[in-house]
Amino acid sequence: MDSSNFVDLLNNQEKKFIHQPFPYESFSHGGEIGSSQLPVFSTQCTETSSFCEDSPTQRKERKKWSPSDDLVLISAWLNTSKDLVVGNEQKAGAFWKRIAAYYAASPKVERGDQREAIQCKQRWQKMNDLVCKFCGSYAAATRHKTSGQSESDVVKLAYEIFFNDHKIKFNLHHAWEELRHD
């Protein structure tokens, strides 16, 4: 191809675009480029902006999971995952929505203390991970069990093994007791 034809084509295209108005030129970015002003359409809040203070999307205070909340969640997960009617013919979103609904319907949960499906899923994953790790520690402690040691001695050794392996204290004993035989 001749390079002069290519250059002519580019020049013709450039002329067409120069005369067309830019579709967004009526929008202002709120100041000079490089200025410290935020654009008009920015979602960032500043100390002087009043619209951010009453925003409905403000973060709510985080509510900690109590041991009784954990036990309700475990019960919800076990009952939902072992449901013979629905079985495994459900998508993850539907599964966790059912768990959240079961959790909310429990009489052991304070009224108005609802958890979203994502909150239930995240708590379950954290609990399940730590409980599974503790099960490994408990199995190791069981292998080291000697004559005369009681069950509480084995659990105490499992706590030590868990701490040595993971450098954190295991604080989900209530969850482990509920899940250890499932």
Q: Domain extents for the chain?
A: 67-179
Which residue bears the tokens 């059912």? 98
> Helix crossing, 92-105 with 67-81: angle to 10°?
130
Round to whole Å and give the CA distance between 143 and 63: 39
Classified as helix, coil or strand, 87 is coil
Structure tokens given for 137: 């520690």
Confidence of residue 27 (pLDDT cuts 50, 70, 90): very low
Which amino acid appears at position 153 of this protein? D
Structure tokens given for 155: 């659990």
Decide: pTM greater than 0.85: no
What average pLDDT does range 153-175 have in this prediction? 95
Q: How far is CA 115 from the centre of its chain?
A: 12
Classified as helix, coil or strand, 3 is helix
Percentage with pLDDT > 90 across the chain: 43
